Amino acid sequence: MQFMPSSSVNAMKMVMANFLGLFLVMEVIVSGFRFGVDGLSMQYYLMSCPFVEPVVKNTVNRALQDDPTLAAGLVRMHFHDCFIEGCDASVLLDSTKDNTAEKDSPANLSLRGYEIIDDIKEELENQCPGVVSCADILAMAATEAVFWAGGPVYDIPKGRKDGRRSKIQDTINLPSPTLNATELIKLFGRHGFTAQEMVALSGKSSYTRSGKVLIFQKQIEQCGSNFGFKFCERHCQQHAVQGTMQNNHLMQQEMILTTYTIMV
């Protein structure tokens, strides 16, 4: 369990609210991808599983109290699911001896929050077995993460069906971190997103833990202000503390988000 001062949690929530406020475009994800929307309803589980939303909310809130960075993890997982053939929970499927699933793609190895979805599913199976789809659970968990982080309250239609196809080769369609702004705008545009919506969806990833970035003992400025991060990563790596992880600082987050938005 990760204990954090309330001031740090509030700061993190404020940072997420800055860009997840734009995450009403998640509604576009829910309805805008080309997957079957017939039969979706806000009240889909009203009779068959009436406590589905409280279960999702309570489970997500407990998890985020322990680790606030999982809020962005849930949103990112939902996005990675929806960007490939629609919101069908295919990102949750495990690989088999005959098939490598999306989950094991290099693009998805850093996804976090699977345990939250598992906990929700287990509780719902106890209350109403075989009723609530994993696709709906993931979508609802993402909306709760947005609200927890200080973003808007919004409802989504339910009734998605779980997909049975999950292939690693499909993840080639996910946005690559090597794409520049023009390439990203074109890629998202093919899915019906505007440049502003692309910024909101891409910006979610900047609120996370710095586990994938080495924390240098020597200040990055020692590499020289005329050199980029890639150069410093290559030439300063011997000064790095391996395995060091920390939450991104509020000021760093605001700088990243502001710079990213201006560049795009």
7 labelled ligand-binding: no
Measure the CA–CA gap between 187 and 16, rounded to whole angstroms.
24
118 labelled ligand-binding: no
95 labelled ligand-binding: no
3-state DSSP assignment of residue 170: helix
8 labelled ligand-binding: no
Closest residue by Cα to residue 131 from 85, 162, 157: 162
* Known active-site residue 80: yes
Residue ranges in 92-194 assigned as alpha helix (H)? 114-127, 134-148, 181-189
67 labelled ligand-binding: no
Measure the CA–CA gap between 182 and 149, rounded to whole angstroms.
29
Measured over the CA atoms of residue 235, residue 238, residue 243 and residue 249, the dihedral's sign is: negative
243 labelled ligand-binding: no
Using a 10 angstrom Cβ sphere, with 0-12 exposed, 13-18 middle and 19 or more buried, the burial of residue 178 is: exposed
The tokens of 50 are what?
């009436």
Q: Which of 80, 191, 239, 249 is catalytic?
A: 80
The catalytic residues are 80
Tell me the binding residues for substrate.
175
Tell me the binding residues.
81, 86, 88, 90, 102, 175
Tell me the binding residues for Ca(2+).
81, 86, 88, 90, 102
